[in-house]
Structure 1
Amino acid sequence: MLTLRRFANPDVTRAFANIVWLGLERVTQIVVAIAISGVLARYFGPDVFGKWQYANTLLLVLAPITWVCGAEILVPTIVRRPPQELGTVLGSAFALRIGVSAAALLLTWAGIALGLADPLVGAMLAGLAVTLVFREPFVGVINAWLQSMTFSKPQLIASMATAIVKALLVFALARAAFAPASFGWLWALESAAIGAALVLYYRRKHGGTLGWQVDRALFRHFATSGTVFWIGLICMYLFLKLDRLMLERTISFADLGRYSAAQQLNENWITLALMLAQTIAPAFVYRVQQTAQLRRNLVRLFAMTAVLMIAGALVLDALAGFIIGRVFGPAYAGAAGIFRWAVWLSVPAGIEAIGNLVVLKYQAKFVLLAKWVLALAIAFAVNLVAIPRLGSYGALVGLAAGYVAAACVNFYYIRLKLAS
């Protein structure tokens, strides 16, 4: 009867359905990303593919700048405020995000015009960077409203549909031998389409109008609240892409293309650890109030994650040559060795993701910031020594050192927090 009552609860049913859609969207994105990478890698060749991956790396380093007023601030604000103030909340958040995003785009274009990047990298980045003004201001704001209702289905369906269309367009443009710089605009088109779909959905749910207004006090609150989390996320993404940023200075773009091919597959594998953490977090960490029960849950989660990541790494290590050959082609055979070592990064990455749940549970923003600053600093120092000696493998050493440092901070915080 208890089980039946749980599933009869509309909140539980809605949350479960939301998790299913989230999982389906993530799997779709992973499959599409691998398929697109395979097409572009074969069409571009290692040298141009390396430039394409570097342009994407620069975009992913720039993107967190637009994450001001993150979901951890916006969603609770939507929930706490009465429904009649929704337009003011979303309007204030939109005004802040569109201003920051537009500034980030203009600065990116200015850097490209000044020749701060390789000409082809800059041409690719010019289109990719347009996503900055659609993702967070439009998609991010409306998605926060959907999250507040535990109903992300509209955004997830739009994301999956546009990802599949984008994959088809990438294949068509490659078959038609379009210039490499043209492909970046497909990502801009994708983000614009998702933003337009969500705006239309929101308007339909609110009588055909947005009704967004800007409140100065709320605008200032959004601009200042969550700043520590925001800076911490910027440091985290800079850490995750530091290997490619530093390798670009020491190896050829062709070698960078092979390294990036291996790492893109590996990052999709690591994403599974993050999906696992996000899925189990509410039931096993966030909602648990008893310290003893939380300790037991964490021990089990750490053990389960370690076993899963090690088992997966063993399989991927054994199949590395086959996987690289099938996805990217014979020109990327050198990426197989990198991939064999890279997949083992999933073990410390998965452990770190589980430990990070406790940091988020208690909203330990300064711990989050200190953790990623430390990981970034250690990875940078290790890369300075290891990359000149070991090349691409040295960058993997830097990533491993950073992940271990981040995990150690998590463990130290957990020990102190749960002991008190």
Structure 2
Amino acid sequence: MTTFILKFLNSGSGKIINNIIWLFLDKGIKMVLGLVIGVWIARYLGPEQFGKLNYGQAFIAIFSAFVNLGLDTTLVKEFVTKDHPDNHLLGTGFIMRFLGALAAVILALSTSYLLDYNQDQTSFFVIAILSFSFIFQSIDVIDLYLQAHLKSRISVILKNSAYVLTSLFKIYLLINNYSVFFFALATIIDLCLASIFLLVYTNNRFVTDIKEWTWETAIAKSLLRASWPLIISALTVILYMRIDQIMIKNLLGSSEVGKYSAAVRITELFFIIPMVITNSVFPSLVRSKNDNYLYKQKLIKLYGILIYISLLLSMSIVVFSSPIISLLYGQQYEGAASVLNIHVWSSLFVFIGVASSQQLVIEGKSTVSLYRTMIGLITNIILNTILIPLFGIQGAAFATLVSYATSSFISNFLFHSTKGITKLYLKGIFVIRREN
């Protein structure tokens, strides 16, 4: 597979492969630690309290779109094209995300107070603690700069250092029998430490001194014009990734959220794979855009890689789903295996959806990405409303699978500008055989 990716990338492949390796190292460490400690937390808290923690995380995730402001893609693109000085982009991006973070905190607290405070104060206070994590996410403009310059190794080292320290803190909480609120606090500590490490690095080693970061109103307007569809799209994506847990909580209770989340977390461990690969390949795709043949060939091979990885993972998980759930979570999470068997197939549509969203950004069709995700969200809400009362958490898993398929694949037939993407998907299925 590595040889195939090298052929796919052509120019600059060594740097991109190196970037992918470092990003996978970053995510890999988090995956292993996250799985081990996450399972320990799930066993320790039990389905009810674990469900409240996951409900809080799902609730908070909805408002993260106001922090990111769609800049994860558009700002990287600006760093690559170099239409503006880096210090102007960094300063403007930081202030935009900080203001978005303040708005997200206020919105999250207000909404949770109205929905949860009288019925479930534990969930409200978990959400209140988690909401302040938004403030530290504004520092991630540094990470975006490093991604654009294929220097993810630096960010990996810094963020993983924070993550390891936070994991040790979680182990301390587990050993000493702390409540669910402290596990929510650990999320803030992780982001706080990562932000501090990034800022210290910036102050000592960065090409652009943080004191030189400058706000530019014209750049902010330009970024918002390019990213507003991505903001709404990201909000929509998060909603249809998390609305199932919110609806399960309200229809079935926290315990069922805990069981459902246990299964979903296994599938979502693999969702970082397309993000790592596409984020590393993104600068190469931007540079090849003017050569239509090369650009399309790279996309076909990218889709091929993602399709085969997702299918291999899905089939492997289905074969071993029951022993995986039993070994990891124990009898108290019985029923999660059937959810996993359904939910894991959504990875195929998530993988190609991540890549096609990047393609739409490069081609200036971000609005179409918004339409696709809105269709997926509507599909998910309708199906969850029907299927959760009938089939419980298994119905929610099926609703999620169908909504992902609708957004990433079926919706392409509704728009003239996306019909070509489906052809690229299909060509990607046979690309490895052609290479051999």
- TM-score, normalised relative to structure 1: 0.87
Correspondence 1:19-30 to 2 at 5 A: 19-30=20-31
The answer as to whether partners of 1:37 and 1:328 remain within 8 angstroms in 2 is: no
Q: Which amino acid aligns with 1:196?
A: I
Counterpart of 1:192 in structure 2 is 192
Between the aligned partners of 1:398 and 1:96, the Cα distance in structure 2 is 35
Q: Secondary structure at the match of 1:225?
A: helix
Between the aligned partners of 1:256 and 1:153, the Cα distance in structure 2 is 36
CA change 1:211–1:356 in 2 (3 A) is: closer
More deviation, 324-333/72-81 = 72-81
Q: Secondary structure at the match of 1:226?
A: helix
Over residues 210-268 of structure 1, what are the superposed CA-to-partner deviations in whole Å (9 max), with x where a residue is unaligned?
22232333334344431112211111111111211211121121111001100111111
Deviation at 1:302, TM superposition (A): 4.9
Q: Which amino acid aligns with 2:126?
A: M
The answer as to whether partners of 1:266 and 1:342 remain within 8 angstroms in 2 is: yes
2:106 is the counterpart of 1:102: no
Aligned residues: 409
Correspondence 1:99-248 to 2 at 5 A: 99-113=99-113, 116-117=116-117, 118-135=120-137, 137-138=138-139, 140-205=140-205, 210-248=211-249
Q: Which amino acid aligns with 1:364?
A: K
Q: Secondary structure at the match of 2:251?
A: coil
Identity level (%): 20
Deviation at 1:124, TM superposition (A): 1.6
Deviation at 1:169, TM superposition (A): 1.2
More deviation, 365-374/242-251 = 242-251
More deviation, 337-346/283-292 = 283-292
Q: Secondary structure at the match of 2:154?
A: helix
- RMSD value, Cα: 3.0
Between the aligned partners of 2:106 and 2:299, the Cα distance in structure 1 is 45
Q: Which amino acid aligns with 2:204?
A: R
Counterpart of 1:388 in structure 2 is 389
Counterpart of 1:77 in structure 2 is 78
Between the aligned partners of 1:107 and 1:357, the Cα distance in structure 2 is 28
CA change 1:309–1:209 in 2 (3 A) is: closer
Over residues 136-170 of structure 1, what are the superposed CA-to-partner deviations in whole Å (9 max), with x where a residue is unaligned?
x11x2111222332212221111112222222211
The answer as to whether partners of 1:96 and 1:223 remain within 8 angstroms in 2 is: no
Counterpart of 1:347 in structure 2 is 348
Between the aligned partners of 1:164 and 1:372, the Cα distance in structure 2 is 34
Of 389, 409, 415, which residue of structure 1 is paired with 2:411?
Answer: 409
Between the aligned partners of 2:209 and 2:297, the Cα distance in structure 1 is 50
Structure 2: where are the runs of 5+ without partners? 1-6, 424-436
Deviation at 1:365, TM superposition (A): 0.7
Deviation at 1:392, TM superposition (A): 0.9
The answer as to whether partners of 2:19 and 2:153 remain within 8 angstroms in 1 is: yes
Q: Secondary structure at the match of 1:363?
A: coil
- TM-score, normalised relative to structure 2: 0.84
The answer as to whether partners of 2:274 and 2:354 remain within 8 angstroms in 1 is: yes
Counterpart of 1:315 in structure 2 is 316
CA change 1:320–1:76 in 2 (3 A) is: closer
Between the aligned partners of 2:143 and 2:315, the Cα distance in structure 1 is 37
Q: Secondary structure at the match of 1:150?
A: coil
CA change 1:216–1:114 in 2 (3 A) is: same
Correspondence 1:16-55 to 2 at 5 A: 16-55=17-56
The answer as to whether partners of 1:46 and 1:332 remain within 8 angstroms in 2 is: yes
Correspondence 1:50-61 to 2 at 5 A: 50-61=51-62
Deviation at 1:368, TM superposition (A): 0.3
Between the aligned partners of 1:396 and 1:133, the Cα distance in structure 2 is 32
Correspondence 1:80-91 to 2 at 5 A: 85-91=85-91
CA change 1:243–1:208 in 2 (3 A) is: closer
Counterpart of 2:92 in structure 1 is 92
The answer as to whether partners of 1:25 and 1:156 remain within 8 angstroms in 2 is: yes
Between the aligned partners of 1:219 and 1:284, the Cα distance in structure 2 is 24
Structure 1: where are the runs of 5+ without partners? 1-5
Q: Secondary structure at the match of 2:211?
A: coil
CA change 1:417–1:261 in 2 (3 A) is: closer
Between the aligned partners of 1:60 and 1:309, the Cα distance in structure 2 is 24
More deviation, 126-135/303-312 = 303-312
Between the aligned partners of 1:27 and 1:52, the Cα distance in structure 2 is 23
The answer as to whether partners of 2:96 and 2:220 remain within 8 angstroms in 1 is: yes
Between the aligned partners of 2:296 and 2:75, the Cα distance in structure 1 is 30
Counterpart of 2:426 in structure 1 is none
More deviation, 365-374/339-348 = 339-348
Between the aligned partners of 1:308 and 1:183, the Cα distance in structure 2 is 33
Between the aligned partners of 1:40 and 1:161, the Cα distance in structure 2 is 21
CA change 1:382–1:95 in 2 (3 A) is: same
